[in-house]
Structure 1
């Protein structure tokens, strides 16, 4: 089996499956565009542009994981933590569309699947993990930035692995039965899981460093912290 990249290329899944995930991507991004208005204002809109530009730049840099396997930042958890889940979906999707159209990074027929994996699944899972762990960062004031870094690491790792499992699902639906590849679906899943756990570690480190740096300089611009429930002190 040849190494499978997170950026799916043309021909990995058949036309009906490609069309199915175009519909999923369009539906998801339509909801994101509608809900993102509640996340953006004059102060945070420029931050969204900076996040998209940062993800685009860092995705162009691959780091080696295993022989014949390299990884790059997906950016779903990073975007969700900094600018919100719906705006994050739009940021990652814009990056993927530009890469596919201008740099041939990911196939056009696979664009719907790539957006589903990296901009929807990766963002939703990454942000869900971040929200679940957010109370730890809110409570631990003295260790706040360390806890925030650990939170960002876990969110990015989980989002990356979940996105890779999205590929496995898509390959099972529209690729495995028609590709003529003798490799079993279980072997594909095991390969993707193992490779993307390692990629997720790199993703987690980059996300943790970036989120912590922004939080130290401008915590008011970190969506995850800005929207945290305020603790109410009850006095007797």
Structure 2
């Protein structure tokens, strides 16, 4: 759903840029509360994983494909504010290095793909977790539903942005029907990927899943016929640092394999927005990407003729750059949180 340059006019692009900047400022502040010494490294890995999986377009209908947006996945794993930052880092890397998503449309893409998906999905997730049984399986179920809802929500958001700032004269009812219809199908794929990933992390390190915090029920004891809270258990021994590293290395290797090898087998069909834009004619004023001459444009390495090698190498570079950039951002956020009490004193 990467919006290219030319779909949305300059005033609305600028307005969404301001909105996105405000959302990022709020998210930076919120991420200081969400991140700790265990989860800060995970956040950079989540950004790299989202980048890798976004390269894996999957078919959803005749001549149409979809890919992960990642807002729900990031919000549930590392928190909603940190999730906005994760997806934003991915979008920035894609726009600058790979000419994917217009640079003048960066505010539109961050607002739609990072802010809307994260906020909507996490609100749905928290609502479901409150009413479902307090079990690990409920986290996976809630993740599925939250991710499923987040994709058509992003389609609705794009439609509203297009309604006020679209550069072509196309009936908004046609755009809405086409966008929501195809993105409901894409949402099923998003939901499956999100639930599988959250479930996998829950199976090995549930303590690192932000959305699973506080789900433990207090143990009750019957005393003289009345139920009372059991005495608090002694704090569990801290998990060894090697366990964190093992999860991080496993996640990074998985991301590299997905981007460097599995991506070659992804669907070549246009994604939902591209298909709708072509069918409805809203792409008539698309402008060339400012980074079209990048050595990594279109997810290939310039001057490497072999398509498999070119695409795989580009994917590996993308994962590497994203994990470095994301880790640097979240390490700085974490450092700022640590420094604040000292400055206050």
Displacement after TM superposition at 1:83 (Å): 0.2
Could you say what the CA RMSD is over the residues aligned between the two structures, in angstroms?
1.6
Residue matched to 1:61: 56
* Structure 1 segments unaligned to the other structure (5+ residues): 1-5
**Is structure 2 residue 80 aligned with structure 1 residue 85?**
yes
Matched-pair contact (CA < 8 Å) for 2:139–2:212: no
In the alignment, which of 102, 105, 114 is matched to residue 110 of structure 1? Answer: 105
Displacement after TM superposition at 1:161 (Å): 1.1
Write the distance in 2 (CA, Å) between the matches of 1:70 and 1:227.
37
Structure 2-normalised TM-score? 0.62
Residue matched to 2:182: 195
Residue matched to 2:271: none
In the alignment, which of 123, 130, 139 is matched to residue 128 of structure 1? Answer: 123
Displacement after TM superposition at 1:136 (Å): 4.4
Write the distance in 1 (CA, Å) between the matches of 2:214 and 2:6.
42
Write the distance in 1 (CA, Å) between the matches of 2:95 and 2:178.
24
Write the distance in 2 (CA, Å) between the matches of 1:187 and 1:90.
32
Partner SS, residue 129 of structure 2: helix
In the alignment, which of 29, 32, 37 is matched to residue 27 of structure 2? Answer: 32
In the alignment, which of 147, 150, 155 is matched to residue 164 of structure 1? Answer: 155
Displacement after TM superposition at 1:149 (Å): 2.1
Q: Pairwise mapping of residues 214-225 of structure 1 onto structure 2 (< 5 A)?
A: 214-225=201-212
Matched-pair contact (CA < 8 Å) for 2:134–2:217: no
Write the distance in 1 (CA, Å) between the matches of 2:30 and 2:142.
24
Higher relative CO (Cα under 8 Å, sequence separation at least 6) belongs to 2
Partner SS, residue 11 of structure 1: coil
* Structure 2 segments unaligned to the other structure (5+ residues): 221-225, 229-345
Write the distance in 2 (CA, Å) between the matches of 1:171 and 1:190.
13
Residue matched to 1:206: 193
Write the distance in 2 (CA, Å) between the matches of 1:202 and 1:162.
15
Structure 1-normalised TM-score? 0.90
Write the distance in 1 (CA, Å) between the matches of 2:152 and 2:31.
25
Displacement after TM superposition at 1:55 (Å): 0.2
Per-residue CA shift, 1:134-175, capped at 9, x if unaligned? 1345x354xx32x32221110001111111111001100100
In the alignment, which of 128, 132, 143 is matched to residue 152 of structure 1? Answer: 143
Displacement after TM superposition at 1:11 (Å): 0.5
Question: How many residues matched?
Answer: 223
Write the distance in 1 (CA, Å) between the matches of 2:79 and 2:119.
10
Partner SS, residue 64 of structure 1: strand
Partner SS, residue 235 of structure 1: strand
Write the distance in 2 (CA, Å) between the matches of 1:116 and 1:230.
36
Partner SS, residue 119 of structure 1: helix
Partner SS, residue 104 of structure 2: coil
**Is structure 2 residue 18 aligned with structure 1 residue 23?**
yes
Residue matched to 1:3: none
